[in-house]
A and B are shown apart, each in its own frame.
Chain A
């Protein structure tokens, strides 16, 4: 993935608001607004303009407030915006707060079928009333359609107001409803109702609107859970154990769908099309709980398959016991933690990065794990592939720490690529021939330069058979309670973990001349922090950027902290967990790092970073 920081070219647009605005759509969940909202976002993407769509949804199926935010930004700064140029207020329960969020000089589109409470009016906001319910009542007969089509009708109004390409919209609708002509016709009709109303009653387009660009030709629109699932498919994972949990469920749903498409092999000499006319080169097990899910992964990995599980924080808590078993017995395992807001049940549909310490040290006793921190779906794909290599090379659990924002929102990212010469790194596994060349096999002896010892898998020649145990063992794999023999093994495990620092994805660093300030961040904070660095530069504060992408940390992380007069660590949890982990593991003075934390459950915005940095440095902003 390209790692250049988006640059601003203020001069390239006469109107600074073209392809540079944000809108927010306030809906009631379960009313079908999602398809209308993503239609708008996808249309902007197809028009070649960098865009993001963030779904701020409740942990509920029907009736509660839900919002969708679309940020259009020609420079690619598509982190969450907090000032909305346009609000589509479709939920009377939240009118007051939605109206309050519109930027001064902005617009609010509402359903004027009913009068709006005069007390809600704002002088600095233009109210655009569209009689959506009335239109749909007059034009559609079924009650279901009258509700659903209101969404497409407001989308139609937005197409006119924002100058979206009607052909693009028409194509998208045709693609979506190609198998349902009636529904297609209804959608087309509703879209036209809203579109025509806006054209007849408002000055279209608004000052802020879109204009075609050519910035997304080599990009895709994908969510992190789909991308992670693709990575698992490409990495050659064959066994998966999992338990449903928001926001990770779609990862396994996608893996299941991908396997059904790409892992089904026709089998000869049976009835074509019959139940046994194909075989599945995969086995996905929906477990009874997360304990079982990770147990299945360990059993399969012990047996030589590439296996993984996908979960969120509560699942990691349950898996902790067996994660320690995997660590101590040195069994590969890949765990996707699509983080949500904790502690406990927390807010299942809200995002956070609060499982960093939990995953780093999961399980009782002295344990340390390898962590990967993707920042977007593109890295989810890449790191998914990397995680299996690392798990097998280091014979240990590897966590991919995504989050709800990455996992469940659609992101514009560069197209995924694959090298057909890729050979998976299966690590040190002795086969029958290897075993025939040695006198005796001992599971935990003869470590290599990364402190990794060779393993065998069940079914190997008898010389390779051993008894794997979570109880105390010596380097020969035998049960022990002798201090020195026990320590010899756990000391090697510590060194093995440290050795992985050179194999995990390297930190991503961007230096700016004259910077005395450094900002460290991780994962989905990426775009907001990059944007903040641009804003800060405009305020005269030049900042260097370092995004941690793996744990154990590369030496550069410590050097970065020590190399800056002021160093900030930006992350999405209350307790500044990344900052603590850096201090604990690199032994750099924790007071050299100022925490910038954001943990309310919605994605980070650049404004919040700028505010924290300027406040600390006492820079007027």
Chain B
């Protein structure tokens, strides 16, 4: 089904951001997902986040693979280029796009089938390369577009709509990320915009691959009793011990520290992520501690959310390769082609 354009009727005087744009300017086409789909809430959070960050739409590029989640880049920031690619391959295309033009803010939207089954190899290597982008994994535990098969993130014992329990071990993208050297790992819930928006902002500010695993219930195929990815299950089992605020660098002066024990992480662009609360002994810079914490919570049947791990001082793929500040696609041809005399000279080695 095609996506109709949203009517641009000004219902009220909408607030404007620093660019003089309203939140409407960050919207896209009308969603064709099922009513109540968690993904639409994520779309709304992304829209709000870009609006609040006052990013020019043209400086954003949106990418996705295939699946319900991958449809969503059409639903936000219509003024940005978008790429709805192939199943599981978004990470590779995003890597190439970022390689050619590092000046843009890249956001990739994927799902648990796209990222954890067909595309898991690419996701793993995207994290290793630390490509500078926001990677939103809209995780619902099922294949929606093909009508309800389990995905690789389905928990053991979680029941399908027909009542069949899943028997194979789930893949947790956060645990995967910890072992792949990912530099920004967060988990959230589509029903919690207040948590999700600051996480998205921090992810944009992060110089490197920022993965946000968003539990986003599928109302049609995985929101029933017995599912561990339902709205109800999430509301009952989410543990929000790690709470963060995002402070853009411009506001740094006007927002003094509210708590003495707040841990502050200064991001690459000067903005700050403030941990309002973390559990006792928790260190979001310590892979081992993070892993232990998630495992412990998981064993209790709980889902820990928040900014779980961050390494704000890592090098992204461009820094590792000493590429220029400007987009490689903009380097003039004269700098790329060594010319005829160099060709004549280098051929002396072929005599």
Q: Is the CB of B104 within 8 A of A291?
A: no
Q: Are A296 and B86 in contact (CB under 8 A)?
A: no
Q: Which residue in chain B gives the minimum CB-CB distance to A466? A: B81
Interface membership of A7, Cβ < 8 A: no
- A291 touching B58, Cβ below 8 Å: no
Q: How far is the CA of A469 from the CA of B318 in the complex (A)?
A: 27
A416 to B89, CA, bound (A): 38
Residues of A within 8 A of B104 (CB): 458-459
CB-CB under 8 A for A321 and B86, given A305-B99, A465-B57: yes
Nearest CB on B from A463, distance (A): 9
Q: Are B351 and A295 in contact (CB under 8 A)?
A: no
Decide yes or no: A468 and B82 within 8 Å by CB, A278-B322, A299-B100, A458-B97 being known contacts: yes
Which of A263, A296, A468 is close to B81, meaning CB atoms less than 8 Å apart?
A468
* Nearest opposing residue in chain A for B92, CB measure: A295
Instruction: Determine whether A361 belongs to the interface, using a CB cutoff of 8 Å to chain B.
Output: no
Whether A113 sits at the interface, judged by CB under 8 Å, is no
User: Which of the candidate stretches A28-36, A144-152, A419-427, A608-616 sits at the interface with the other chain?
Assistant: A419-427
- Is chain B's interface secondary structure helix, strand, loop, or mixed overall? helix
CA A45 to CA B351, docked complex, whole Å? 8
Return chain B residues, CB-CB under 8 Å to A281.
Answer: 323-324, 328, 331, 335-336
A297 & B96 in contact (Cβ 8 Å cutoff): yes
Task: Type the 1/0 row for B321-351, where 1 means its CB is closer than 8 Å to any CB of A.
Answer: 1111101111101011111101110110011
**C-alpha spacing A262/B336, complex, angstroms:** 8
Verify if A475 is at the interface (C-beta below 8 Å from B).
Answer: no
Residues of A within 8 A of B347 (CB): 220, 415-416
Proximity string of chain B (82-105) to chain A, C-beta cutoff 8 Å, 1 when within and 0 when not = 111110010111111111110110
* A467 to B84 Cα, complex, angstroms: 7
**B276 contacts the other chain (CB 8 A):** no
How many of B's residues come within 8 Å of A, CB to CB? 63
Whether the pair B343, A234 counts as a contact (CB closer than 8 A) is: yes
A325 to B328, CA, bound (A): 23
Measured CA separation A532–B341 after assembly (Å): 38
Assign chain A's interface to a size class. Answer: 35 or more
The stretch that binds B, out of A14-22, A190-198, A282-290, A550-558, is A282-290
CB of B125 within 8 A of chain A?
yes
Whether, in the assembled complex, B121 has its beta carbon less than 8 Å from a beta carbon of chain A, the answer is yes
Q: Which one, A295, A422, A468, contacts B337 given CB within 8 A?
A: A422
Q: How far is the CA of A220 from the CA of B249 in the complex (A)?
A: 59
In whole angstroms, how far apart are the Cα atoms of A461 and B350 in the complex? 47
List of B residues within 8 angstroms of A226 by Cβ: 350
Taking a contact as CB atoms under 8 Å apart, the answer to whether A304 and B338 are in contact is no
CA gap between A479 and B94 in the complex, in Å: 21
Q: Which of A233, A288, A478, A481 has the most CB of B within 10 A?
A: A288
Known: A220-B347, A280-B321. A303 touches B100 (CB 8 A): yes
| Of B328, B333, B346, B350, most A-chain CB atoms within 10 Å | B350
* A322 interface residue per 8 A CB criterion: yes
Q: Is the CB of A465 within 8 A of B81?
A: yes
CB A264 to nearest CB in B, in angstroms, measures 8
Known: A265-B324, A296-B93. A322 touches B86 (CB 8 A): yes
Contact A292 B329, CB 8 Å, known A234-B343, A265-B335, A470-B84: no
3 smallest beta-carbon distances between A and B, as pairs = A295-B92, A299-B96, A305-B100
Residue positions of A touching B, CB distance < 8 A: 45-46, 220-222, 226, 230, 233-239, 241, 262-263, 265, 275-276, 278-283, 285, 287-289, 291-305, 307, 321-322, 325, 415-420, 422-424, 456-462, 464-471, 478-481
A292-B121, A299-B97 provided; 17 other pairs, C-beta below 8 A? A45-B351, A46-B351, A237-B336, A238-B328, A238-B331, A239-B99, A239-B100, A285-B129, A291-B92, A295-B92, A415-B344, A420-B339, A424-B333, A460-B58, A462-B57, A466-B81, A470-B86
> 20 A-B residue contacts at CB 8 Å?
A238-B100, A238-B329, A239-B100, A263-B336, A265-B324, A281-B323, A285-B99, A288-B125, A292-B95, A299-B99, A304-B327, A305-B100, A416-B347, A420-B340, A456-B81, A457-B329, A458-B97, A465-B78, A465-B80, A481-B1
